[in-house]
Structure 1
Amino acid sequence: MEDVRAAVAAVPDPELPVVTIEQLGILRDVRVDATGRVTVDITPTYSGCPAMDAIRADVEAALAGAGVDGAEVRLVLAPAWTTDWITAEGRAALEEYGIAPPGPARGTVTALALSVRCPHCGSPDTRELSRFGSTACKALWVCRACQEPFDHVKPL
């Protein structure tokens, strides 16, 4: 069971390849029943996320590499994913890669961010250029201090 979970947990997110699906909080559960059948639950960062088909295929490939065939990979929509599910390691990896991680969503209330700290120079003097970044779950921001653009994972 631990080997199966480790294989799935190591799958990188296709849109944010510096984090795994476990670090991003997409991986909800891995179960092995008494017959040895494996079921994996994954949750999208938002409903309609186009990366879920790729994630499902990557999970199935990782399981096949671990000697598990015929696993069921289920898409679980409730409860909805929240940025609270991103691990500390995931937040650090995003920032190191140059993507500003979201702050904790704090339950059902999302805190208003007056600024986003630049992942390049650390300055809080930033502004949103576009609500739409390189993927639908990110917004494009720019730092006024170092002039570098960067993606910011949208808080949910």
Structure 2
Amino acid sequence: MSAPARLPAEQVRERVNTVPDPELPMVSLADLGVIRAVETAADGALEVVITPTFLGCPAMPAIEAGIRDVLAESGHPDGRVRQVLAPAWTTDWISDEGRRKLSEHGIVPPGPAKAPLSVRVGLGVACPNCGSVATRPQSPFGATRCQAVLVCTACQETFAHLKAM
């Protein structure tokens, strides 16, 4: 069996952009803004530059494995993944498409990370089930570290909210 043809960086980027997030598989790493660059390193190896959503994110080994699989399938078995921590990832990097996909799956995307903190006057994040803003926090921790759990007092449903960072 012959090795796959070495695809150029632009085509590898297109493929890497489709790798799903292991914790939120409805969105890709590109949708989340985790993929920073696909470039040729000084030694000639193709390198995918990523910024994790959280320092110590438990999904990083799975994310890196998914990217390495794409590199190998694209003819770059010597390719590598490089984490860059500065600037730190922010929820502002989530694409409009990523926000739409999160919302379709019942996860309320965050507002702007640098927005001033609002004074809570009883109105919260709009419920993805009924649209009511009569919501309140239930837990600061959700299925993943980047989520909180809220409850809607109108329809009594709980839902995930992606924390602004």
Q: What is aligned with 2:6?
A: none
Larger Rg: 2
Q: Deviations over 1:34-80 (max 9, x none)?
A: 87521111111111111111100010012222222111201111100
1:140 to partner: Cα distance: 0.8
Q: 1:147 aligns with which of 145, 148, 156?
A: 156
Q: 1:61 to 1:88 in 2, by over 3 A?
A: same
Task: Give the partner amino acid of 2:150.
Answer: W
TM-score of the two chains, using structure 1 as the length reference: 0.91
1:34-45 equivalences under 5 Å are: 37-45=45-53
Q: 1:58 to 1:68 in 2, by over 3 A?
A: same
Once residues 33 and 74 of structure 1 are traced to their aligned partners in structure 2, the CA distance between those partners, rounded to angstroms, is 10
Q: 1:105 to 1:69 in 2, by over 3 A?
A: same
Secondary structure of residue in 2 paired with 1:31 = strand
Q: 1:23 to 1:113 in 2, by over 3 A?
A: farther
Contact 1:102 1:155 in 2 (8 A): yes
CA RMSD of aligned residues (A): 1.7
Q: 1:50 aligns with which of 50, 58, 61?
A: 58
Say yes or no: does 1:17 pair with 2:25: yes
Identity of aligned residues (%): 53
Q: 1:91 aligns with which of 96, 99, 123?
A: 99
Contact 1:32 1:39 in 2 (8 A): yes
Secondary structure of residue in 2 paired with 1:39 = strand
Secondary structure of residue in 1 paired with 2:161 = strand
Contact 2:38 2:46 in 1 (8 A): yes
Structure 2: gaps of 5 or more residues: 1-8
Once residues 73 and 110 of structure 1 are traced to their aligned partners in structure 2, the CA distance between those partners, rounded to angstroms, is 35
1:32 to partner: Cα distance: 2.7
Structure 1: gaps of 5 or more residues: none
Q: 2:73 aligns with which of 65, 68, 81?
A: 65
Count of aligned pairs between the two proteins: 154
Once residues 51 and 110 of structure 1 are traced to their aligned partners in structure 2, the CA distance between those partners, rounded to angstroms, is 30
Q: 1:30 to 1:77 in 2, by over 3 A?
A: same
1:128 to partner: Cα distance: 0.7
Q: 1:61 to 1:113 in 2, by over 3 A?
A: farther
Contact 1:105 1:111 in 2 (8 A): no
